[in-house]
Structure formats: C-alpha cells, structure tokens
C-alpha cells in the first residue's frame, strides 16, 4: 500500500489530487492528502466475490440480477468525484458508469450484520458488498467527504490476482514521499 502511495506522488500519477488506496485483500481503505500524507485509514466492506476485472454492463443492471460471482470490487485506477447516490445521499463515485462508489456503510438488511463485519479483525468477514466500498459513517464524514469536497481525486483499487506494479506500472521510490514534506 505505501509503495503505491509513494509512487502516486513521486510519479505525478495522482495529479496533485487527494487519493484513496483500497486494499481488497485486507479489506481496508487509506485516504491520502495530495502530497502523500495519510489522512486516515479504516476497515471497509468490499465485494463479496474475488476477482479484479469488472463485469461488462454491471452498472446498467438491476442489483437483483447481479450473480454472486459478479459481486466484486474491480481493481484499477479511477478518477473519483463526490456526487449523489440513488437516495440523494452524498457518495464518492469511483466509477459512475459501473455504479461503483465509496460510501457510508449500508445497514438496511439487518441479517448482513454490516456494522459488526466492519469491526471484525478478519478481513474475509468484510467481503459482503455487491462491489461498492462501504466505510464506517464517522470515517466517511470526517475523512472521505472532507478530502474530496470541491475536488476530484484518484482511487487506486489494488488487484488480488496480480502484483500492483503490473496493473499500475508503479516503481519503488527510494524515500517515503510523505516524510519529505
């Protein structure tokens, strides 16, 4: 994770914007200032299925038609922007066309126990969503929303099946970028 953060700043890939790194294997989210300083980190709920490639047309389908093996959080680099969700709530659209967002934890299905899952120390227990990234309400309010208010940013979702360097073309930075500031 730190490798991608340092590379994003050193290479200019983040474009001087705030950025997020989503580690699906650990089911965690890291939010950074544009200069690479960590703004905050949190456990997160991510897609129930394992995999890195997005399902074609997933963003145009009814949620009820999404099969269990399609409920994944795709790996990649995305330009994200704050916007409105289906109920008018503010969310961070990671990839609008595929209906992929980072938002407050959804708790409307009690048997999913999403709040309890967020607190679990076991990353595999935090794999439950249809693909979106759910974070605790307090983390969203105090870290995510302020980081992206009035600006766009970059979201890096780390792959599960291949090295991050292969997906992003990243390289080792000889010093931690954030320690230079």
pLDDT tens, 86-137? 889 999 999 999 999 999 999 988 999 999 999 999 999 999 999 999 999 9
Q: How far apart are CA 146 and CA 79, in angstroms?
A: 17
Task: Report the largest interatomic distance among the alpha carbons of the chain, rounded to a whole angstrom.
Answer: 49
Residue 58 CB coordination number (10 Å): 21
The catalytic residue among 33, 132, 175, 181 is 132
Residue-range domain boundaries for the chain: 2-56+68-176
Flag residues of the chain having pLDDT under 50: 179-181
Known catalytic residue at 3: no
CA distance 43 to 125: 11
pLDDT of residue 54: 87
**Thinking of the domain 2-56+68-176, which architecture would CATH place it in?**
Beta Barrel (2.40)
Set 3, 33, 103, 175: catalytic member: 103
Would you call 103 a catalytic residue per the annotation? yes
């Amino acid at each position: 994770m730190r490798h991608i953060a340092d590379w994003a700043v050193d290479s200019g890939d983040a474009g001087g914007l705030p950025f997020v790194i989503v580690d699906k294997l650990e089911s965690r989210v890291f939010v950074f200032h544009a200069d690479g300083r960590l703004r905050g980190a949190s456990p997160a709920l991510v897609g129930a299925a394992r995999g890195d490639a997005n399902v074609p047309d997933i963003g145009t389908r009814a949620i009820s038609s999404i099969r269990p093996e399609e409920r994944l959080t795709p790996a990649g680099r995305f330009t994200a922007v704050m916007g409105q969700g289906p109920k008018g709530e503010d969310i961070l659209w990671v990839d609008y066309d595929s209906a992929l967002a980072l938002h407050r934890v959804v708790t409307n299905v009690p048997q999913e126990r999403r709040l309890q899952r967020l607190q679990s120390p076991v990353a595999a227990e935090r794999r439950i969503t249809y693909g979106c990234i759910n974070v605790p309400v307090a983390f969203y309010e105090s870290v995510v929303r302020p980081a992206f208010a009035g600006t766009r940013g970059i979201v890096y979702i780390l792959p599960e099946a291949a090295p991050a360097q292969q997906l992003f073309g990243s390289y080792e930075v000889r010093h931690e970028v954030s320690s230079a500031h």
